Homo-oligomer: A and B are copies of this chain.
Amino acid sequence: MAALWQCQGVTSPSTAGAVRQGSLRELNLAVVLRRIATADRPPSRAGIAAGTGLTRATVSAVVDDLIAGRLVAEAEPAPRTGAGRPARGLVLAGDGPAGLGLEVNVDYLAACVVDLTGAVRHHLVRRADLRPVSPADALDRLAALAAEARAAAVRDGLTLAGAALAVPGLVDGGGLVRLAPNLGWRDVDVPALLAGRPLAEPVDGIPPLVVDNEANLAALGELHAGPPGSTSFLHITGEIGIGAGIVLDGTLYRGARGWSGEIGHIPVQPQGRPCRCGGQGCLERYAGQETILAAAGLAGADLPADTAAIRLADLAGAGDPATLTALADAGTALGVAVAGVVNLLDLDTVVLGGGYAPLAPWLRPPVVTEISRRVLTAAWSPVTVRPAALGARSAAVGGATSVVRRVVDQPVAWLARSG
């Protein structure tokens, strides 16, 4: 729990411009709330005052607002420390706002509910091959699953503060899915197709649904769920395509147009195999799942993506030589690309997620080898390569987390909601 908010950067005032008088309280609500969220143990009002430089009077007033708004609760008194009146510990409320995370992928739908403390309260998954299904029908089914998750949240006394939908493709601002090749989607306007559903109706002015790239949301989930300390990392999602979420200084980097992370088309053999993107020698052609499956002798199996990864892990675990060679080669190609990225961005961590997560035991060694060979500063300060803490299904959790994170960053929007 403590690690949840560990890594986020400083947020600028929501006005992003003039600082009006009321902004003072608005900003300090966020400051105090973040302090509570990032603390190792429940802090006292006095401790927050000492840590932030605000007076105890101000902190008390701010905390009163936060408690009244169900964002903060008083915890059991902490173990005794010495003389003096005992402090009353403050924690994030577990019964206030929650985030709804949704995911549409090639062979499953997922919905999950995360509360303010970062706990995953519900997680529903429906397996289904969605490739032959129209976008409208797929979103129909998703809406049904979302309604189920919402009902479960309401039974827990939680209030949904928003929802985030993860899609394996390029997403434009405003929820337009430009292209999701593996789903067969092109220019799908998600909010329009969901019109009339509770998901699409704004609740008290809070934007109801954010659509984002799967890799981005998975990286956000990893930022909160992973071990603290890594504020700049690459979260690689190896599915049919290879995507990456880039977190720099604790902030997700989306790119000039929101299309960052196309690591699958980094050239690793400039004169190598042609790629469907029109290029040549792209990483995807050497470390993509199709290539690994073919090299392992599973070319015609036509398995769903996550099943395929587990099948490969089983074979590798059993010592199948073709599979081991396939994974070693893929890992080396991945390592070459990652080494270039680390040289450029000076990252301290690389996370293997998506379909790579279960294959990490075999992919990690060649990746580490290439990094240590090719990264200039590797000798000074090592680069951590690890599997995703949330495993292969992190996008929905990451989406839900991004919703509650927004509440922590801008508590006024939540407090202004209803009372």
Name the residue on B nearest A374 (C-beta): B279
Name the residue on B nearest A272 (C-beta): B270
Task: Write out the residue numbers on chain B whose beta carbons fall within 8 Å of the beta carbon of A336.
Answer: 267, 270
Q: How far is the CA of A374 from the CA of B170 in the complex (A)?
A: 17
Interface size in chain A (residues, C-beta < 8 A):
66
Task: Write out the residue numbers on chain B whose beta carbons fall within 8 Å of the beta carbon of A17.
Answer: 10, 31, 52-53
Task: Write out the residue numbers on chain B whose beta carbons fall within 8 Å of the beta carbon of A380.
Answer: 257
Q: How far is the CA of A246 from the CA of B341 in the complex (A)?
A: 12
A201 interface residue (CB < 8 Å to B): no
Copy number in this complex?
2
A203 interface residue (CB < 8 Å to B): no
Question: Scoring A residues 215 to 249 as 1 if CB is less than 8 Å from chain B, else 0, what string do you get?
Answer: 00000000000000001100000000000101011
Residue among B23, B24, B340 making CB contact with A340, cutoff 8 Å: B340
Residue of A265, A270, A377 ringed by the most chain B CB atoms within 10 A? A270
Task: Write out the residue numbers on chain B whose beta carbons fall within 8 Å of the beta carbon of A23.
Answer: 24
A269 interface residue (CB < 8 Å to B): yes
A192 interface residue (CB < 8 Å to B): no
Question: Which stretch, A95-103, A112-120, A157-165, A344-352, touches the partner chain B?
Answer: A344-352
Residue among B13, B248, B254, B375 making CB contact with A13, cutoff 8 Å: B13
Assess whether B10 is in contact with A346, with CB atoms less than 8 Å apart.
no
Assess whether A345 is in contact with B270, with CB atoms less than 8 Å apart.
no
Residue among B20, B258, B260, B376 making CB contact with A53, cutoff 8 Å: B20
Do A267 and B268 form a contact, CB below 8 Å, given A24-B19, A256-B232, A345-B253?
A: yes
Assess whether B20 is in contact with A54, with CB atoms less than 8 Å apart.
yes
Distance in Å: Cβ of A228 to nearest Cβ of chain B: 14
Q: How far is the CA of A170 from the CA of B345 in the complex (A)?
A: 14
Question: Scoring A residues 377 to 416 as 1 if CB is less than 8 Å from chain B, else 0, what string do you get?
Answer: 1001100000000000000000000000000000000000
Between A and B, 10 residue pairs with Cβ closer than 8 Å are A10-B16, A12-B13, A13-B13, A21-B24, A248-B248, A260-B346, A261-B344, A265-B376, A266-B339, A277-B374
A positions within 8 Å CB-CB of B: 10-13, 15-21, 23-24, 27-28, 31, 52-54, 170, 231-232, 244, 246, 248-249, 253-263, 265-270, 277-280, 282, 336-337, 339-341, 343-348, 373-377, 380-381
